[in-house]
Amino acid sequence: MKSLAIIALSLAVLANTNALAAALPDAPGLLPTAIARTLLEQDPSVVAARAGLEAAQLDADMLDASPYEWTARLSTQRRKVQSESNYREWNAGIERGVRLPGKAAADRQLGKAVLAEAQARYGEALHEAARELFTLWLHWIGAEQARDLASSNRQSIQDNLAIVEKRLRAGDVARLDLHLAQAELAEQKRLENDTKTQALIAWAHLQTRFPGFDAHFNSLPTPLPLTEEAVFWRERILAESDELKITQAQFDKAQAHAERFRAEKMPDPSIGMYTASEAGGRERITGISISMPIPVLGGIRSGRASKSTYLADMTRQEVELKRRQISGEIAASFASAQGNYESLQISMEGANAMQANAKLTQRAYALGETELQVLLAARRQATGATQSALAARMAAISAYYLLLIDAHLVWDLEHE
């Protein structure tokens, strides 16, 4: 019966896990996790943060250990007694400071806060590198898409020129139409060359920042509408925010420092043992020594404790301020993702309509039913609409996937 209960519990947990995974937002077309993690882990900022994490671990270990060491003392002297012999004497001992329990606990809390801050800084470095990788990758793909679009537009204008040349040979239009069509084609070729240059520049930025990036990953991710409510994104991003965790760890450090300075009002004693030889060895002395600084009433120790308390209160407010700032950014990102997706749908409708209008106008011009200026205007409108649709698509993709990155829902960012 016990085994059956365990199996039933495991199946219930698995079902809940699968339900949660199914409820999480999708990320079609994004860089594969294995590829992205390799690039991110090799990023200099992430490597540096990882080294900082290792150093913080050593700091935490040192804070956990006592800061005091054994001190050895050895002295020798010659005693001269009137009318007697001279005596050689010596004194030897060891002593060590003893950290009081309250200070040890505060040091351990400080070590944990130092380590937590370093872990959060590593996570933030990984998060920022992920945002930069995605942004540079998307910018490059967008530039490649713009180049393809410019090439398609150039082909359409070439088709227009071919129609003009055909009608000119038939004596149906003036040579002025030919010159206008040729000028339009030259301008489009210039625009196509500009987009090619921008694509090369975008690739250079991506390849330089993340060496070894595979150029085969050149397809735009799919923009999707947000199906989760704003509260989901707020709670998720706040829970995963390494920026907020850094501020929280700094507050924990300030609290630990305050506890340490309050405990420092009572100085640590030093305890030792000693032995001595006097009167030429005829007297042997052994003993235990205890020493402790005498704090000045109302002095530096109390002042430091009061100051550390104020600093802890200050960092507490900084945590709340950071929480509000991030909450505002989340709300803005959520609204941007929603609005950009709606704009994409509208721009796609407009682009399809303008493309259909350009094709109809081209057919009408070929049949002599309209003027060249009307055809060129229709083509420019179609080109502008498709460019606007591409920009809207890029904005929708960027807003959606950056939201997923901030929520640590892609590239295993939740497993820092």
Question: In the block, which residue shows the tokens 């030897």?
Answer: 92
Write down the pLDDT at residue 196. Answer: 96
Task: Report which residue type is found at 335.
Answer: A
For residue 367, the domain's CATH number is 1.20.1600.10
Write down the pLDDT at residue 390. Answer: 94
Write down the pLDDT at residue 277. Answer: 78
Write down the pLDDT at residue 296. Answer: 64
Residue 306 lies in a domain: yes
Write down the pLDDT at residue 99. Answer: 82
**Burial group, residue 373, by CB count within 10 angstroms (0-12, 13-18, 19+):** exposed
The boundaries of the domain holding residue 125 are 27-69+101-267+298-406
- The pair phi, psi for residue 79, each rounded to 5°, is -100, 130
DSSP for residue 276: E
Written as tens digits, the pLDDT of the chain (416 aa) is 333 333 333 333 333 434 333 345 767 888 999 999 999 999 999 999 999 999 999 888 888 887 878 888 888 887 777 666 777 878 888 888 888 888 888 888 988 999 999 999 999 999 999 999 999 999 999 999 999 999 999 998 899 889 888 888 888 878 888 888 899 899 999 999 999 999 999 999 999 999 989 888 888 888 899 989 999 999 999 999 999 999 999 999 988 888 887 877 778 788 889 888 777 677 788 889 888 887 765 567 777 777 778 788 888 889 999 999 999 999 999 999 999 999 999 999 999 999 999 999 989 988 888 888 898 899 999 999 999 999 999 999 999 999 999 999 999 988 66
Number of domains present in the structure of the chain = 1
- The pair phi, psi for residue 74, each rounded to 5°, is -145, 130
Question: In the block, which residue shows the tokens 């959520």?
Answer: 334
Tokens of 25: 């937002």
Residue 82 lies in a domain: no
Question: In the block, which residue shows the tokens 């001279």?
Answer: 86
151-170 exposure pattern, b = at least 16 Cβ within 10 A, e = fewer? eebbebbeebbebbeebeee
Instruction: Check the CA dihedral 177-183-187-189 and report its sign.
Output: positive
CA-wise closest residue to 163 among 370, 363, 392: 363
Tokens of 9: 């519990």
Residue 397 lies in a domain: yes
Tokens of 6: 């365990």
Write down the pLDDT at residue 391. Answer: 94
The DSSP-derived string for 153-204 is: HHHHHHHHHHHHHHHHHTT-S-HHHHHHHHHHHHHHHHHHHHHHHHHHHHHH
DSSP for residue 410: S
Write down the pLDDT at residue 106. Answer: 85
Residue 173 lies in a domain: yes
Decide if 357 contacts 378 (C-beta within 8 A): yes
Residue 413 lies in a domain: no
Q: How many residues would you count in the chain? A: 416
Tokens of 346: 């509208």
Write down the pLDDT at residue 280. Answer: 67
**Cα separation of 267 and 295, whole Å?**
7
3-class secondary-structure state, position 31: coil
**Cα separation of 134 and 404, whole Å?**
11
**Cα separation of 354 and 351, whole Å?**
5
Residue 132 lies in a domain: yes
Decide if 92 contacts 73 (C-beta within 8 A): yes
Residue 7 lies in a domain: no
Q: Helices marked H in 264-407 — which ranges?
A: 300-366, 372-406
Question: In the block, which residue shows the tokens 């002297």?
Answer: 77
Residue 319 lies in a domain: yes
